[in-house]
């Protein structure tokens, strides 16, 4: 199978190396020319398989699993609009732990330091959700909304129509601590959910990419379908 860079067209760019003549050009890949999948495609799972990255799997491992070709790792990246692999792909556990320790300076701050507080779900007696789980609590949470204070203890208060009485839920039952490590792990785990373009659509992708990456004839910069020339500097006219 073709590598992604074989589709990227070339550009003759003015040579800026020392001792180069003003009319000299060097050929480079035109990375400004790139395509991406239509956003609407991700709403239609007919084109994709949802997949969760396992352990330290790399994109080439997944490409080999689904396409039988590890060199199609770029299809995995393209299907998920991944540009920066180091930031947008799950890190190996050892690397992740090392980076987190550097970020938070100590094991105590990493594993015991509180990043934020968030809500736990509260339902009334007939199953209606009154407080959603996972909502981050602001520093002024205790003065907002349904939160009430009684003798230094904060509660979530509501009227339960099922039992026809007021209910007070103590903060210990609806607020949870989220440590720095838990927060970072959650962020990392979200990267594991990706889309895999189904193999039957690979040829369509290749054909589309070939068309998008090809220069159209015309203009002074055009040389051929895979090459055009950048404008040179002009310092004199008549």
State whether 80 and 195 are in the same domain.
Answer: yes
Residues 122 and 102 in one domain: yes
pTM attached to this predicted model: 0.70
Summary mean pLDDT of the chain: 83
Question: What pLDDT score does 151 carry?
Answer: 74
Tell me how far apart the terminal alpha carbons of the chain are, to the nearest angstrom: 52
Structure-model confidence comparison of residues 172 and 41, the more confident one: 172
pLDDT at 228: 64
Same domain, yes or no: 50 and 81: yes
Say how many domains are in the chain.
Answer: 2
What pLDDT does 218 receive?
Answer: 76
* pLDDT at position 171 over 80: yes
Looking at the fold, whether 77 and 10 belong to one and the same domain comes out as yes
Find tokens 């990043």 and name the residue. Answer: 115
More confidently predicted of 152 and 38: 152
Is there a single domain that holds both residue 101 and residue 33?
no
Of the pLDDT bands very low, low, confident and very high (cuts 50, 70, 90), residue 180 is very high
* Residue 103 belongs to some domain of the structure: yes
Q: What are phi and psi of 96, to 5 degrees?
A: -60, -50
Domain shared by 109 and 181, yes or no: yes
Residues 159 and 77 in one domain: no
The answer to whether position 236 is within a domain reads: no
CB-based contact 92:99 (threshold 8 Å): no
Residue range 91-103: mean pLDDT, rounded: 94
The string of pLDDT tens digits covering residues 189-212 is 999 999 999 999 988 887 877 777
Checking if the pLDDT of 217 tops 60, the result is yes
Express each pLDDT in 52-83 by its tens digit. 999 999 999 999 999 999 999 999 998 998 98
In a domain, 234, yes or no: no
Q: What is the pLDDT of residue 235?
A: 44
Cα distance between residue 15 and residue 193, in whole Å: 43
Q: Which domain holds residue 39?
A: 4-90+191-229
Radius of gyration of the chain (CA): 28
Share of the chain above pLDDT 70, in %: 74
Question: Is residue 235 in some structural domain?
Answer: no
Q: Are residues 173 and 200 in the same domain?
A: no
Predicted confidence at residue 50, as pLDDT, reads 93
Instruction: Note whether residue 85 is domain-resident.
Output: yes
Residues 84 and 121 in one domain: no
Q: Tell me if 61 is assigned to some domain.
A: yes
- 23 pLDDT above the threshold of 90: no
Residue 10 CA to residue 213 CA, distance in Å, equals: 10
Same domain, 86 and 101: no
Give the pLDDT score at 20: 65
pLDDT tops 90 at residue 46: no
Q: Do 148 and 198 have their domain in common?
A: no
33 & 149 share domain: no
Cα 165 to chain centroid, rounded: 46
Q: CA 54 to CA 64: how far, in whole Å?
A: 14
Q: For a pLDDT cut of 90, what percent of the chain falls above it?
A: 51
């Amino acid at each position: 199978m073709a590598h992604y860079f074989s589709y990227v067209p070339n550009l003759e760019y003015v040579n800026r190396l020392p001792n180069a003549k003003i009319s000299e050009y060097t050929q480079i890949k035109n990375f400004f020319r790139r395509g991406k999948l239509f956003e609407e495609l991700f709403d239609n799972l007919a084109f994709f398989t949802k997949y969760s990255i396992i352990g330290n799997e790399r994109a080439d491992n997944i490409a080999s699993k689904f396409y039988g070709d590890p060199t199609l790792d770029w299809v995995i990246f393209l299907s998920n609009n991944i540009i920066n692999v180091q930031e947008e792909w799950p890190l190996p556990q050892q690397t992740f732990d090392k980076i987190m320790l550097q970020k938070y300076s100590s094991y105590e701050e990493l594993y015991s330091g509180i990043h934020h507080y968030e809500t736990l779900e509260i339902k009334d007696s007939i199953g209606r959700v009154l407080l959603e789980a996972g909502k981050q609590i602001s520093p002024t949470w205790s003065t907002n909304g349904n939160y009430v204070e009684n003798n230094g203890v904060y509660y979530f208060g509501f009227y339960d129509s099922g039992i026809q009485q007021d209910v007070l839920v103590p903060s210990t039952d609806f607020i949870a601590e989220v440590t720095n490590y838990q927060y970072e792990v959650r962020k990392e785990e979200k990267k594991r959910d990706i889309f895999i373009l189904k193999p039957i659509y690979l040829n369509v992708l290749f054909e589309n990419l070939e068309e998008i990456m090809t220069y159209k004839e015309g203009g002074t910069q055009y040389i051929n379908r895979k090459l055009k020339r950048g404008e040179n500097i002009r310092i004199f006219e008549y």
